[in-house]
């Protein structure tokens, strides 16, 4: 069964912050982002001087997108490697920019500052390698698409390292644009040639691996789900733009100032821009932006909170039957966690499924007398936050499961009662009426005398009495006319054992809703029947009271009692369900040789005393 529930809209609230246990990681993320931004700004100032040209400011803003989105993801999803990858890449960019600025300002002296500048400037290779290969490869959940990519990832890592060493140790003339006053760490002769060759090989390998990653993104986009296709479409665009910007910069070099500047900006900002776009438009890693009133919120949880889900579902749940309630809750779980399917299973094995169930569940949580199971997420994997949400939803779903089980037991009890009435009519009144009709026919045929007519009259009276007793078992007329106290007294007046009925005076002067009076009357009747049939009681006491907002009926006997949890409770299970359906309960106290006390109660506060 699949139910449809509207997608929830989060209620206005402040976005949740990171937990205390994640504080060190948050501090680390802030530090890494600060290093990147500081390097970008300081490098720009050292390179351009004061006043800073507008183009330099624009370039600085473009570079700052990467550490900003990396910080956002790392703080809100510290268990996901993607945010940390973005921050490492951003640090390579920031420190590389700072290194270039230091070399432009102090590189001509070839002193310690020049060496530090050369070390930092060489980190640009790390920025390009990570941007071209790993940022698109592990997008969006921080994991490789499959184990087959592990060798490729290792090759890319080694190639990035070779490219870095090549820049760091190559002679001055090889990477002249990176070292305007010469490379203070550059090697000469064969060693320099080997370093340059290793750097070139590493750069070429990184570029080729990036092309294979781009092809894999296209293939993943074609066979992915709707959500995956939308996200990967943006990443493909970003990779193409980043590679194109880098190639443009290499081709035109410093000579084509305008074109080269556009290429550099595109190379550093394309991927961060598309990742930010996916965050804002397609809820990357469950992060979204919402406008509430006049305020702009970053809402770090696409999944609505439990109270938001239930508030949205509340009106529909109240109007739905128990099984439909389970269907709507299953749909809420599926939509809230963005899983392919979700199922609620009752204790008797009944399953209510939302979505297309395929494969084994990846997460199962107990819920009352049943459990909730979820399939895989549409995009990414279920994380600790998903498990927390599902665990919280287990409480209301467990109540719904109990409600569904209660409804099923009530239906079964009603069916059993119908069959009992049918059996009593068939075995009792019907047989007596058949015998009465046969007797009348015989009397008419034989001209029966006063004796036979008197016998027939007695049979008719007995049949009438049995019908009245049967009607009393369904709903006694005295209950409708005189109320609960009078109906219980009338029921106890015909018992074969000594019975005492005590009722609060207020119960004789006012009436209660029919369903409450009926439930308590039949609770008393069933408890009395059990005392007579099973307990062998010689004395029964009935007490009716109304206090503290509860209408209570208590039946105690001096019978043999029974072990709790064992046989001997008769139909009390069905009565307990009936009380629970009214918001009340049934309490049973018994022990062998000590009699039994049955207390049934329902809430009723309209003008309640006490």
For 428-453, write each residue's pLDDT tens digit: 566 666 666 777 767 766 766 666 66
Instruction: Residue 459: give its domain's CATH number.
Output: 1.10.287
Domain final residue pick, 381, 411, 441: 411
Inter-residue contact 355 to 363 (CB < 8 Å)? no
Q: What is the pLDDT of residue 103?
A: 85
Joined tokens for residue 247: 């190639």
The one-character DSSP state at 250 is H
Domain count, the chain: 4
CATH code assigned at 533: 3.30.565.10
pLDDT tens digits for 140-172? Answer: 778 888 889 999 999 999 999 999 998 888 887
Same domain, 244 and 128: yes
Supply the pLDDT for residue 296: 39
Q: Which DSSP string do the residues of 98-127 spell out, in sequence order?
A: HHHHHHHHHGGG-SHHHHHHHHHHTTHHHH
- 152 in the same domain as 70: yes
Pair 281, 402 in one domain: no
Tell me, what's the pLDDT at 93?
92
363 & 215 share domain = no
Query: Cα separation of 366 and 390, whole Å?
Result: 10
The domain boundary, picked from 435, 470, 505, lies at 470
Higher pLDDT among residues 454 and 256, named by residue: 454
Instruction: Kindly state whether residues 222 and 351 are assigned to the same domain.
Output: no
Confidence class for position 211, pLDDT limits 50, 70, 90: very high
Is 4 domain-assigned? Answer: no
SS3 589: strand
465-508 per-position pLDDT tens digit: 666 655 555 556 677 788 888 888 888 887 888 999 999 988 88
* Domain region containing 420: 416-470
Tens of pLDDT, residues 310-369: 555 445 444 445 556 677 777 777 777 778 888 877 766 667 788 887 778 888 877 666
pLDDT confidence of residue 510: 84
**Assigned domain for 18 exists:** no
pTM > 0.75: yes or no = no
- Helix axis angle, 81-106 relative to 54-76, nearest 10°? 150
**Judgement on whether residues 448 and 555 belong to the same structural domain of the protein:** no
pLDDT at 374 over 50: yes
Of 252, 273, 299, the domain-final residue: 299
d(CA 434, CA 423): 15
Res. 421 pLDDT band, cuts 50 70 90 = low
298: phi then psi, degrees, rounded to nearest 5? -90, 115
How far is the C-alpha of 500 from the C-alpha of 493, rounded, in Å? 9
pLDDT band (50, 70, 90) for residue 111: confident
- Residue 3 within a domain: no
Q: Where are the beta strands (DSSP E) in 442-584?
A: 498-503, 539-547, 550-557
Residues 47 and 145 reside in one and the same domain = yes
Verify that 510 and 442 share a domain, yes or no.
Answer: no
Q: Which has the closest alpha carbon to 518: 492, 480, 550, 491?
A: 480
pLDDT at 102 over 80: yes
Q: Where are the alpha helices (DSSP H) in 49-149?
A: 54-76, 81-106, 112-121, 124-129, 135-137
Residues 232 and 160 in one domain: yes
CATH number of residue 393's parent domain? 3.30.450.40
- How many degrees, rounded to 5, is the angle at CA 18 between CA 12 and CA 20? 130
Q: Is the pLDDT of residue 22 over 90?
A: no
In a domain, 361, yes or no: yes
Range in 6-20, 186-200, 374-388 with the lowest mean pLDDT: 6-20
Lookup result for tokens 């979820």: 374
Read off the pLDDT band of 92 (50, 70, 90). Answer: very high
Asked if residues 525 and 507 have their Cβ atoms less than 8 Å apart, the reply is no
Q: Given a cut of 50, is residue 9 above it in pLDDT? A: no
When pLDDT is averaged across residues 392-412 and rounded to a whole number, the result is: 59
* Helix extents (H) in 475-513: 477-482, 484-492, 506-509
- Sign of torsion, CA 162 163 169 173? positive
SS3 of residue 335 by DSSP: helix
Sign of CA dihedral 162, 163, 167, 168: negative
User: Collapsing DSSP states into helix, strand and coil, what is residue 597?
Assistant: strand
Query: CA 382, CA 284: separation in Å to the nearest integer?
Result: 14
208 within a domain of the structure (yes/no): yes
CA separation for the pair 463, 459 (Å, rounded): 6
Average pLDDT of the chain is 76
Q: Give the model confidence (pLDDT) of 507-535 as tens digits.
A: 888 888 888 888 888 888 888 888 888 88
Tell whether 178 and 280 lie within a shared domain: yes
What pLDDT is stored for residue 511 in this prediction? 87
Q: Both 558 and 505 in a single domain?
A: yes
Whether 334 is in a domain gets the answer yes
């Amino acid at each position: 069964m699949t139910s449809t529930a509207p997608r929830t809209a989060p209620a206005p609230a402040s976005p949740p912050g990171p937990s205390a246990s994640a504080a060190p990681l948050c501090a680390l993320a802030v530090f890494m982002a600060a290093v990147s931004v500081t390097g970008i700004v300081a490098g720009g100032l050292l390179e351009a001087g004061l006043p800073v040209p507008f183009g330099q400011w624009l370039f600085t803003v473009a570079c700052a997108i990467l550490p900003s989105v990396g910080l956002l993801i790392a703080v809100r999803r510290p268990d996901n490697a993607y945010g940390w990858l973005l921050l490492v890449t951003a640090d390579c960019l920031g420190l590389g920019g700072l290194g270039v600025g230091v070399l432009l300002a102090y590189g001509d002296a070839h002193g310690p500052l020049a060496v530090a500048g050369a070390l930092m400037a060489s980190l640009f290779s790390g920025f390009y390698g990570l941007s071209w290969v790993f940022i698109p490869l592990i997008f969006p959940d921080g994991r490789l698409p499959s184990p087959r990519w592990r060798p490729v990832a290792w090759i890319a890592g080694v190639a990035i390292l070779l490219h870095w060493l090549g820049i760091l140790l190559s002679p001055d003339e090889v990477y002249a644009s990176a070292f305007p006053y010469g490379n203070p760490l550059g090697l000469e002769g064969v060693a320099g040639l080997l370093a340059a060759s290793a750097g070139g090989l590493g750069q070429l390998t990184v570029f080729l691996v990036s092309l294979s990653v781009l092809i894999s993104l296209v293939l993943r986009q074609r066979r992915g789900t709707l959500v995956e296709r939308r996200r990967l479409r943006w990443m493909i665009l970003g990779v193409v733009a980043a590679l194109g910007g880098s190639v443009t910069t290499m081709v035109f070099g410093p000579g084509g100032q305008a074109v080269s500047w556009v290429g550099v900006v595109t190379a550093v900002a394309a991927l961060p821009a598309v990742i930010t776009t996916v965050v804002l438009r397609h809820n990357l890693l469950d992060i979204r932006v919402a406008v509430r009133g006049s305020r702009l919120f970053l809402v770090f949880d696409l999944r609505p909170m439990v109270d938001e889900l239930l508030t949205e579902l509340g009106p529909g749940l109240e109007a739905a039957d128990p099984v439909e309630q389970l269907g709507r809750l299953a749909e809420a779980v599926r939509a809230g966690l963005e899983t392919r399917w979700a199922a609620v299973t009752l204790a008797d094995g009944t399953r209510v499924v939302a979505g297309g169930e395929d494969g084994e569940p990846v997460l199962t949580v107990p819920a009352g007398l049943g459990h909730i199971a979820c399939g895989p997420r549409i995009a990414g994997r279920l994380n600790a936050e998903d498990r927390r949400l599902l665990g919280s939803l287990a409480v209301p779903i467990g109540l719904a499961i109990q409600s569904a089980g209660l409804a099923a037991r009530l239906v079964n009890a009603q069916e059993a009662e119908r069959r009992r009435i049918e059996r009593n009519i068939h075995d009792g009144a019907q047989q007596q009426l058949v015998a009465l009709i046969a007797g009348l026919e015989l009397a008419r045929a034989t001209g029966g005398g006063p004796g036979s007519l008197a016998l027939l009259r007695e049979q008719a009276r007995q049949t009438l009495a049995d019908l009245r007793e049967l009607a009393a078992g369904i709903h006694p007329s005295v209950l409708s006319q005189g109320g609960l106290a009078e109906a219980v007294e009338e029921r106890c007046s015909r018992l074969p054992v000594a019975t005492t009925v005590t009722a609060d005076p207020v119960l004789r002067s006012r009436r209660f809703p029919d369903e409450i009076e009926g439930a308590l009357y039949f609770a008393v009747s069933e408890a009395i029947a059990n005392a007579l049939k099973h307990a062998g009681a010689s004395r029964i006491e009935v007490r009716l009271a109304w206090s503290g907002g509860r209408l209570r009926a208590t039946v105690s006997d001096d019978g043999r009692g029974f072990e709790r949890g064992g046989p001997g409770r008769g139909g009390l299970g069905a009565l307990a369900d009936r009380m629970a359906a009214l918001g009340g309960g049934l309490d049973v106290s018994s022990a062998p040789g000590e009699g039994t006390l049955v207390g049934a109660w329902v809430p009723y506060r309209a003008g309640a005393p006490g």
